[in-house]
Amino acid sequence: MKVGVIGGGAIGMLYAAYLGKNLDVTLYVRRSEQKNLINNIGIILQHQDTSETISIKAVEDYGDLPEQDLIIIAVKQYHLSELIKTLNKIPPDCPLLFLQNGIGHMKLLEQLSHANLYVGTVEHGALKLSDNEVAHKGKGKTNAAVFRGNGKMLSKLSRANIDFPVIIQSDYDLVLLEKLAVNAVINPLTAVLGIQNGRLVENEHFEHLAQSIFDEILLLYPRLNSIIDFEDIKEIASNTRGNTSSMLADLQTKRETEVEAILGAMLEEARSNDVSLSIIPVLYEMVKGLDKERRKG
């Protein structure tokens, strides 16, 4: 099985490394420096106490995308619009799996003509240490579901990687909304407060803020009431207590955040359905403001 992974960030490298143990994997990156490092050395996968090096192929251009049996798109949500033309050139019988935070990318998927489109959410913790080194900070799973077409290739991917589980779910909407709820509570709040995930449940004032945000999310998406509760959010924050959320990491490194794909999409949903929110709009403006301030230099 030939798998292409688009995106040389933490998630792209993590997936390329694990899948590369059993499958023929090509990682598509944007810079020659990263391509050369990976092709010459491999991807160094750091575990808690050990490390291993996995040899895969890295390329800069998308010329051989049509040769892949499955393509995994692991770029940030805000980079997807740059890829739409490229993805539309891929034969429509080639399945695509999208691994983005939030729900802001769902409209873009409608622009694709591919027969089989999948969406997934990532529960792993990953940190990019260098252009060819990634730390697996927390082992989880990939929840994936069919957005359009059949799940044949998704099932094949799931069977191929026992130590990197891909769990197939029946309802893509609930898969995305559940992860959206987790991201919308933990990511922006830790980013604004400048704290690691665990502090949200170790400080009662922060926990109260998190609870209030979660309550607004349930007001906006009542379907989630039967899927996830605040205790689940607390457990995730506790289990990843030492992790820096991706949104806080983006602010610290002056990268663009995914606040539009997460909170921005929620605000658009609230406007469309005439739902009044009080805390999420404030949190959105705070993240946007911090993003603007820290990227000035």
Could you give the residue numbers annotated as active site?
Answer: 179
Partners of residue 295 on adjacent β-strands: none
From CA 189, how far away is CA 291, in angstroms rounded? 14
Secondary structure of residue 9 in the 3-state scheme = coil
Q: Please name the residues in contact with 117: beta carbons below 8 A apart, sequence gap of 6 or more.
A: 95, 96, 98, 109, 146, 147, 148, 149
> Do residues 263 and 186 touch, judged by C-beta distance below 8 A?
no
Secondary structure of residue 48 in the 3-state scheme = coil
From CA 187, how far away is CA 197, in angstroms rounded? 8
Q: Residue type at 286?
A: M
Cα distance between the two ends of the chain: 45
From CA 278, how far away is CA 250, in angstroms rounded? 25
As given in the structure block, the two tokens for residue 87 are 């993805």
As given in the structure block, the two tokens for residue 131 are 């252009």
Cα maximum dimension of the chain: 55
Per-residue buried b or exposed e for 177-212, using 16+ beta carbons within 10 Å of the residue's own CB: bbbbbbbbbbbbbbbbbebbbbbbbeeeebbebbee
Q: Please name the residues in contact with 123: beta carbons below 8 A apart, sequence gap of 6 or more.
A: 138, 140, 141, 142, 143
